[in-house]
Amino acid sequence: MSQEARVLFANDAFYAAFAGRDPDAMDAVWSEREPVLCVHPGWPPLDGRDEVLSSWRRILSGPSPPKIRCVGPSARLLTDELAVVLCFEVLEQGTLAASNLFRLENGVWRMVHHHASPAQLPPGLEDEARRERSIQ
């Protein structure tokens, strides 16, 4: 399996933890060694593992956490130990563009940064997003 495929697998684990409302799985996705950062739409930037994971626990345990699907992910290795995934997050109320930064940690790709903000889908992904919204 290529490193890009492994990074995409780590990205899938992030969205599976989100969709499954699983705080333990979300914890396992994030780096334990590197500093982590997160920017949720409409939130101030979060700095540090404790602050980031606390935000995810609040989101995942809320009365109506957003239903989310990742579409159009693409991975790019920046160095041998650093990679980014660019993708779109499809929610019932709209679409977000996301960048997810991963660091290779003890042989496993772990998230060190997540940023999502409102965006429009490119024309090639509109049909896929419509299908994803109908599944939710």
* Successive 10-residue mean pLDDT values, the chain, 136 residues: 96 96 96 96 96 96 85 96 96 92 97 95 68 55
For tokens 């593992």, name the residue: 49
At 132 the pLDDT is 57
Residue of 9, 18, 25, 37 whose CA lies nearest to 96: 18
What is the pLDDT at residue 91?
87
According to the model, what pLDDT value does residue 133 have? 53
Specify the pairing of strand 68-79 against strand 82-91.
antiparallel
Are the C-beta atoms of 109 and 102 separated by less than 8 Å?
yes
**Are 45 and 38 within 8 A, CB to CB?**
yes
The confidence score (pLDDT) of residue 100 equals 98
**pLDDT at 93 (0 to 100):** 84
Q: Could you give the CA distance from residue 55 to residue 81 in angstroms, rounded to a whole number? A: 26
Please state, in angstroms and rounded to a whole number, the distance separating the CA atoms of residues 106 and 87: 25
Give me the pLDDT at residue 92, please.
84
- In the chain, the amino acid numbered 101 is L
pLDDT for 97 equals 96
